[in-house]
Amino acid sequence: MQYEFLKKFPRRMKNVGLYAVIIQNSSQKLSWKQYGFTKFDEQINLLFEVLLYIMEQSLKEEKCTMDDIATYIDTINVQYLRKDISYEQCHQLGDFIVNTVLSNEGRPMYFGGYDFEKNEYEEMHISYVANKIVYVENEVRRTSYYLTDDGYNLLLSTLEIEDNIITDIAFWGGCNGNLQGLSRLVKGMSVNDVISRLEGIRCGGRPTSCPDQLCRALHEMGF
């Protein structure tokens, strides 16, 4: 093709789409205002604060029910955000964030990226969170939420690759010192070397880790 830099363009647009869809879902909703989150930056901040909590629970393989999310929102609100909302409203806000904004009320989410080799748009499915049934005290059924690969990829934030070499990477959340070290170590490494060295690493008793999620993100990009 004439412009080699447009090869695999949909892969780049998938990363853009992860941000575009979540912003579109959020900005079109008026429910934020009833909880005191009137500014766009406040809304996006809280969205990512909730995503990071779900990621932490996912990595620890611990339950993440709506009650857990509500308690988390209530805690950071009392300590930091100081919005005039009750625990019940935090519960409603958590349900709104997870099921309306992040899950689009159960409707599939897509973002199109133009494939210059096929001369057509490729519709790419996007999903941030998924859920499963867990049993809590007295065998009560609850829905527990966890991040999908797209959710992890969103929180990986920046991953630039040129000629099969990682040129830039940044992480959201996780253990700050370890991730700074990981970011510096993998820069300049080939994708194949990163995958061969880091894939399958676990964090303590967790089934995955930030290095392992980096490898999953690379596989998602087609490597």
**pLDDT tens, N- to C-terminus, the chain (223 residues):** 788 889 889 988 998 999 999 999 999 888 999 999 999 999 999 999 999 899 888 877 789 999 999 999 999 999 999 999 999 999 999 999 999 999 999 999 999 999 999 999 999 999 999 999 999 887 899 999 999 989 988 887 556 677 888 877 766 555 656 666 787 888 889 999 999 999 998 877 777 887 888 888 788 777 8
Same structural domain, 133 and 24: yes
Q: φ and ψ at 129, to 5 degrees?
A: -135, 155
Q: Report how far apart, in Å, the C-alpha atoms of 123 and of each of 11, 73, 109, 126, 154 are.
A: 11, 34, 10, 10, 18
Give the domain-ending residue among 107, 131, 148: 148
Task: Count up the domains in the chain and report the number.
Answer: 2
| Separation between Cα atoms, residue 214 and residue 159, nearest integer Å | 9
Q: Are residues 112 and 211 in the same domain?
A: no
Helices (H) and strands (E) in the chain, counts: 8, 6
Q: Are residues 164 and 87 in the same domain?
A: no
Same domain, 178 and 114: no
- What DSSP state is assigned to residue 101? I
Dig out the tokens for 68 from the structure. 């857990």
Cross-strand bridge partners of residue 123? 112
Please check whether residues 162 and 143 belong to one and the same domain: no
| Residue 44 sits in the same domain as residue 117 | yes
Q: Which domain holds residue 45?
A: 4-148
Separation between Cα atoms, residue 218 and residue 190, nearest integer Å = 11
Please tell me the pTM assigned to this model.
Answer: 0.76
- Spatial contact of 69 and 142, defined as CB atoms under 8 Å apart: no
Rounded to the nearest 10 degrees, how much is the dihedral formed by the CA atoms of 198, 204, 205, 207?
Answer: -20
* Cα–Cα dist 81/45, whole Å: 11
171 and 126, same structural domain?
Answer: no
* 119: Cα separation from own chain's centroid: 30
Q: 29 and 69 share a domain?
A: yes
Same domain, 105 and 71: yes
